[in-house]
Amino acid sequence: MLEIEVVLSPALLRLTEVRNKNVVVIDILRATSTICTAIHEGASAVRPVKTTEEAIALKNHGYLIAGERDGHKLEGFDLGNSPFECMNGRVTNQKIALTTTNGTKCVQAATDAGASNVIAGSFLNIDATSEWLKKDGKDIVLLCAGWKDKVNLEDTLFAGAMASKILNNNFYTLDCDSTHLAIDVYELGKHNLAQFLIKSSHYQRLSNLHHQEDMEYCLSLNLFETVVGQKNVEMFKIN
C-alpha cells in the first residue's frame, strides 16, 4: 500500500522521510495559490526563492520579481503575492521569481530533503492535483507551510481535504495522527471554508491588510485543472 502523511509545520519536516515521495507544499493564503494561478494564467515559470536578494538578482535575468513579508508587498518589487496580480495578461509568457514569508522556503526545504516531485497545493485545482498524484503512484507528503513554523488552520484544512480525496481509493493508507487530525479539521470546516477560517490568525492578518478578496479567491474550489510542479528550480504546468 502507498502512504500519505501530513506534516503540520516545516519544523516537523526533519522527522519525515521525503526521498522518492511526492511532496505537496501547501500555503493556501497565498503563496501556492498564487503560484498555481500564475502558471494557469500563462506565466512560463515561477521560481520560488528564499530571500529578497535572490529575487532581486533574478531581475537582471529577465524575471518579474514578486513577493511579500508578513503580507506586505516588498518595496520595489514588480508584484506582491496576490493571485489577482497574475491575471489579465500581466504575467503571460513571463518568468516570475517569488519570495514569501513561508511558502517559498517550504518549496526549497522539500527540494533539499530529496522529494521526487514538489507540487504546489491549492483549492483552485485540488481535484486535478489529487488525480495527478494518484496516477503518479508514489507515497505522498502533504507539507503545511504554516506561519513562521507555527501550525495554521488554512493549510491544515487543505491537507485534510487533499488527504480525504487521496484516501478515497484502495491504493493509499495512512499511519500518522497528523493526517487523522487534518481530516477531522476538514470535516469540521468543509461546508463553509471561509466561515471556518475567520478565526485563523492569517485570515485576520490579511483582513487587516484588506486582502479579503484574495482569501475568497484562494478558498474557491476547482477553478482550473492546471497542475503545478517543480522541475529543477522552477515551477511549471506538469499535466
Nearer to ligand MLT, 5 or 85 (CB): 85
To ligand MLT, the closest distance from the beta carbon of 172 in angstroms equals: 28
Tell me the residue length of the chain.
239
- Single-letter amino acid, residue 145: A
Contact between residue 23 and residue 141 where contact means Cβ atoms under 8 Å apart: yes
To ligand MLT, the closest distance from the beta carbon of 139 in angstroms equals: 25
Which positions touch ligand MLT (CB under 6 A)?
27, 30-31, 68, 71, 81, 100-103, 145, 206
C-alpha 70/C-alpha 227 separation (Å) is: 27
Contact between residue 172 and residue 140 where contact means Cβ atoms under 8 Å apart: yes
To ligand MLT, the closest distance from the beta carbon of 202 in angstroms equals: 7
To ligand MLT, the closest distance from the beta carbon of 81 in angstroms equals: 4
Nearer to ligand MLT, 18 or 120 (CB): 120
To ligand MLT, the closest distance from the beta carbon of 103 in angstroms equals: 4
Nearer to ligand MLT, 102 or 129 (CB): 102
**Alpha helix stretches (DSSP H) within the chain:** 31-40, 52-59, 103-112, 126-136, 153-166, 177-189, 193-197, 201-208, 212-218
Nearer to ligand MLT, 71 or 189 (CB): 71
Nearer to ligand MLT, 30 or 40 (CB): 30
DSSP-derived pairing of the beta strands 63-69 and 72-73: antiparallel
With b meaning 16 or more CB within 10 Å and e meaning fewer, what string describes 52-63? bebbbebeeeeb
Residue nearest to ligand MLT (CB): 100
